[in-house]
Structure 1
C-alpha cells in the first residue's frame, strides 16, 4: 500500500512559519550519561528563581564539567544557559510553570539512574511536531506539520529499497517530512539521488522550490538557496547525532551510512505502529503537553512539585564528574581511578567522594550501555576497546574470570582468541572471540581460525592448562546470516558447544540481579544465538 503525498505546498504555507524540521543543538551528541550529567547539575540550581545570576552559575558548572566550551560569560545577559534548558525541554526532561523549572518523570529517571538508554529512546520515539518546542518563538514550525521525525526515519530505514540513509539523504526528510504520508515522495528523492551517484554539491537540484521549501521565519531576501540548504543539512546532521546517541541506529564502520539497530527492532516496530498517535498539543498549554510527553513509563505525570534533594557544590561537582566517567568507563566496585582523580585533580576528601558515589555504583552499568553498544559496532577502530570492555564485563559484572589474550603474540603459526574465560569451581575454561561488527555471520575464515588455531593453541597460554574446554563463545554487536547453523556445525566438528551473543543481550544479562556464575556458564553452552530470556 502506497502512502499519500501530503507535503505543504508554497501556496498553502505561511511565511511566518518554518516548513522544515529543527532540533536544538546546544548538546550535539545527547548520550544518556551526558543528559543525566546536565540534569544533575541543573538539579542543584534554584529552579524557582531562574535569574540571570543562576543561569550564569549553571553555565559555569557546565564548563567545569567539560559540557560547555570555556567561556567567561562576559555578556551579563548571556543566553547560553537558556539554550540548554530549551534542549532538555524539547526532549521532555523539563517543563516550565511560570518562571519556575521542574523535572518531568523522564528527567527524574535520568538523575536517579533508572534505565537511561530506555528513557532516551522512549523520548525520541515520541518526539513530535507539533509540540511546545516547535511552537517556540525562535522555532515556529508550521503547525500543520504533524510527524514523529525519529519514527518516520526509522521506518524509512526498514524499507526494502532504502536500508540506510546518509546525512545528505536525511536532508530530504528534514525538508519534506511533513507527515507520515510523505514517505513515497522522500523515497523517490532518495532513490533518484542515488541513481545519479550524486554528491552534496548536487543536493540543491533535488529540492523542488528551494527558496520556498527551505524557507525559515528568519530567512531574509539576502539568504540564497545555497545558504538555506546548508542550514537544512546542519539540521539533518543534528538529527543523525540524536539518533546515534540513542543507539536506535548507528553509523556503519568505514562509511557514512546510518543503519537501523536490529537489536531494538521490537521497540522500533511498536513505535511505527503508533506513528500517527500524537500527544494532543494546544498552544498555551505547554506544561500539560510536556508533562505528558515526559511521563515516559507511566500514562500520566501526577507528581507534585515537591522539594528536591540538594547537594552542596562539592558534592554536585563529584556527582556530575561521575556521570561522565561511568558513561565512558566500565567501573569495578571500588572505582579507584575515579576516586584518585577527584582527590588529586580537584582536592576532594576521599571519604566525601565515596559518600557521593557509593549509592550510584550499583546502577552505573546502565550508563555504560550506550558506550558498549557503540564499541560493539565500530569495526577495526573500536575492536580492541570492545575486547577489553567485554573481558571487564565478564570479570566484574558476571563474576567469571576473564583474561584478554587478543594482543598476546604467539611464536610460529597461528594465534589466540580475544578472551579466555575460566570457571575454577567446574574446572573448565572457554574460548571467547569478540567481533566489533553490526552483522556478524561467522564467516569461513573465522570458522577456520577457531578449528585450526584457537582450539589447539589455548592451552599454550598457561592460563587454563589444567582446565577442560567447556565451550566456544562469539560476542558481537549484531548477529545474522546463517550463524545459528554454523554454530551447530562448529559444535559437531570440534566437539565443543558453540554459542553466540550480541552486545545488547550480554549487557542486559549483566544487569540481572542474583544470577549465579555457574548458571550463566551452563547457559553459555547451549549451541545457539542466546537471548536475555535464556538466562532467567
Structure 2
C-alpha cells in the first residue's frame, strides 16, 4: 500500500499526452485490452517509433511499457474500459483532445479534479492508502495562495505535504501548515522518528544513499503537473513553486467553488465517465454499447488524426493548408485527397490551442529560445489575428515583431522577453524610445502611424506599469505589457468571438499591464 500522494509518471511532464492519446486511439480504441498482449506490444512499438517512448531492450516481451502509458491515460480520466464489452473507450475529455481542443484547458480541469480515492488510485498495483480523501492539486493551490505559506519547495512537498495532507478539512490543513513551518525552521529534525517506516516506497526498500528520492521524484512530478496548468510556476532563482502573479484571481475563483468528490471509485466505468467530462458538458450521456466494425477508412482516419495532433504540438495551425496536407500524407502514406477531406471535416479551424503549452514554456527560457519565441509570436499575430506580421528582431536595433493592420491602417511593435519577471531597465527604456519608436523609419518604410508598442513576457516586475507609462509619456505612443498566459487567453477568446483590429489596438494601448478583464 502506498502511504503518500502518488501519480504514475512514465513521463514527468504532460506535454506528450495528446500524442500518446492519439497513438493509443489508433492502436487500441474499441479493442479489448485485458490479456491482449499483441495489442500491448503493437502499441509499445508505435510509441517507440514516434519517439514517445524510449527504445530499449524488453526483457519479458509482455507489453508492460504500453500498460504503464495506458494507466497514465486512465489516471487522468481520458480513457476507460467499458464494462459490457471490455473495450477501450475515450471519455468526453479524451474525445475533446482528439478533436483538437486546447489540451491545457482540458488537462487543467482533469488535474484540478484529480482525487484520492479514484478508480485508478485503488486499482491493483497502485493501492494508495484509504486514509487519503483529497484533491491534491486543489490542496496545493490552497497552500500557495495562503500568505502564511506563499510558496513551496520540492523538498517541502516531498517531506511534508504529500505525506501529511490526507483530507481537505480545516484541521488537516492547519496541521500541514504547522508542519511546514516546523520543517522550515528545523529541516529533517522536524520529521517523525518512524518517518521511513510509515512512508517507505512501494517496494518497501529505502535507498540508503538517497532515502527521500522516491518522495522527491513524486514531488517533482506534482510540480510539473501544476506547472502544466499555467497557474503556478517554479521561480527561476530559488526553484520554489508559486502562483503566477496574474493568476491570483483565477486561483481564488477555483478555490471558492468546491465541487463534491466523484463518488463510486470502485465502479471503473461510472467513475471514469464522471471524471472525464469535457469543458462543455456536466454529464456523459453517450450510448457506447454498439461496437464499431473497424474498417480501412476508420484506421486511415485515426492515422491522420494522430499525425495532425503531432504537427499541432510543434507549431500553431490556424487552418488546413496544402503544405500541411502534403506533410501528413507523406507521414501516413495516405492519399492527399483523403487527408484533406478528413482534416477539413475534423479540424476546419485548425488547432491553435494545442501549441499553447509550448508557447508558454518558451516565455520562461531566457535567451535559450528567444528567437523561436519571437518567431512564434509573429506567427500567432499573422494566422490568428490576421495582421501582416514580420519577425524583424534579427536585423539589429529593432523590435522583435512589426505588426501592420491593413484593415485599420496602423502599425504596432512587439518586444518579446522570455523571463518570468521582466522589468524595463534604463537601457531597454532608451532602446524602445530612441531606436524602436523614434527611428521606426529604419525598419519600416510604409505610411501607417505607430499605434502602440508592447512587451510580451512570462511575467513582469512590480514597477512595469510605471515603466510603460514613462515610455508612453516620453514618446506620445501608447503602450502595454502582456503576460504570455494572457496572450494565450487572447487567442482562446478570439477563437470563440473574433476581435477586430480596432479592438486589438485598444487592448494593446492601455499604457499598463494588460489584465484578463481587458480581454473579456
1:246 to 213, 219, 229: 229
**SS across alignment from 2:393:** coil
Cα offset, 1:361, TM superposition: 5.8
Q: Deviations over 1:135-162 (max 9, x none)?
A: 1121211112111111111222223244
- Counterpart for residue 165 of structure 2: 177
Deviates more, 1:48-57 or 1:476-485: 476-485
Q: Which of 506, 512, 525 lines up with 2:487 in the alignment?
A: 506
Structure 1 length as normaliser, TM-score? 0.84
Pairwise CA distance, 1:43:
2.6
Name 2:449's counterpart in structure 1.
468
The answer on 1:47 being equivalent to 2:30 is yes
For residues 252-267 of structure 1, what are the structure 2 equivalents within 5 Å?
Answer: 252-253=235-236, 256-267=239-250
Aligned partners of 1:276 and 1:355: how far apart in 2? 41
Q: Is residue 38 from structure 1 mapped to residue 26 from structure 2 by the alignment?
A: no
What are the ranges of 5 or more consecutive residues in structure 2 without an aligned counterpart?
none
Residue aligned with 1:459, SS = helix
Q: CA deviation at 1:88?
A: 1.1
> Which TM-score applies when normalising by structure 2?
0.86
Higher RCO (CA < 8 A, seq sep 6+): 1
C-alpha displacement of 1:307: 5.4
- Which digits, 9 at most, give the CA deviation of each residue in 1:291-316, with x for residues without a partner? 21112433322221155696554543
SS at match of 2:200: coil
Q: Closer, same or farther in 2 for the Cα pair 1:535/1:246, shift >3 Å?
A: closer
Report the 3-state secondary structure (helix = DSSP H, G, I; strand = E; otherwise coil) of the residue aligned with 1:259.
Answer: strand
Q: Distance in 1 between matches of 2:434 and 2:70?
A: 58
The one of 89, 105, 109 aligned to 1:118: 105
Aligned to 2:272: 290
Q: Classify the secondary structure of the residue corresponding to 1:362.
A: coil
Which residue in the other structure is 1:7 paired with?
A: none
CA contact (8 A) 2:101 2:351 kept: no
Contact kept in structure 1, 2:14 and 2:228, CA below 8 Å:
yes
Question: Do residues 70 (structure 1) and 51 (structure 2) align?
Answer: no
Say whether residues 1:367 and 2:378 are aligned partners: no
Name the SS of the counterpart of 1:407 in structure 2: helix
Gaps of 5+ in 1: 1-16, 410-414
Q: Secondary structure at the match of 2:349?
A: helix
**Cα gap change, 1:407 to 1:292, in 2 (>3 Å):** same
Residue of structure 1 equivalent to 2:75: 90
Deviations 1:230-274 (A, max 9, x none): 211121122222222332322333553323234444443233235
* Secondary structure in structure 2 of the residue aligned to 1:432: strand
Q: Relative to structure 2, which stretch is displaced further, 514-523 or 332-341?
A: 332-341
Which of 363, 378, 389 aligns to 1:391? It is: 378
CA distance in 2, matches of 1:281, 1:54: 29
8 Å CA contact 1:211, 1:224 repeated in 2? no
Residues 429, 464 of structure 1: 8 Å contact kept? no
Matched, 1:324 2:328: no
- Alpha-carbon distance in structure 1 between the residues aligned to 2:404 and 2:259: 51
Cα distance in structure 1, aligned partners of 2:3 and 2:343: 46
Alpha-carbon separation, structure 1, partners of 2:55 and 2:24:
18
From the superposition, tell whether residues 312 and 103 of structure 1 become closer, same or farther in structure 2 (CA, over 3 Å): closer
Aligned residues: 504
Structure 1 residues 48 and 426 mapped into 2: Cα distance closer, same or farther (>3 Å)? closer
Are residue 58 (structure 1) and residue 66 (structure 2) matched? no
Change (3 A) 1:206 1:361: farther
1:382-420 C-alpha deviation (Å, 9 max, x unpaired):
3222211111111221111222222213xxxxx222222
> Are 1:524 and 2:508 matched, yes or no?
yes
Structure 1 residue 471, shift from structure 2 partner = 1.6
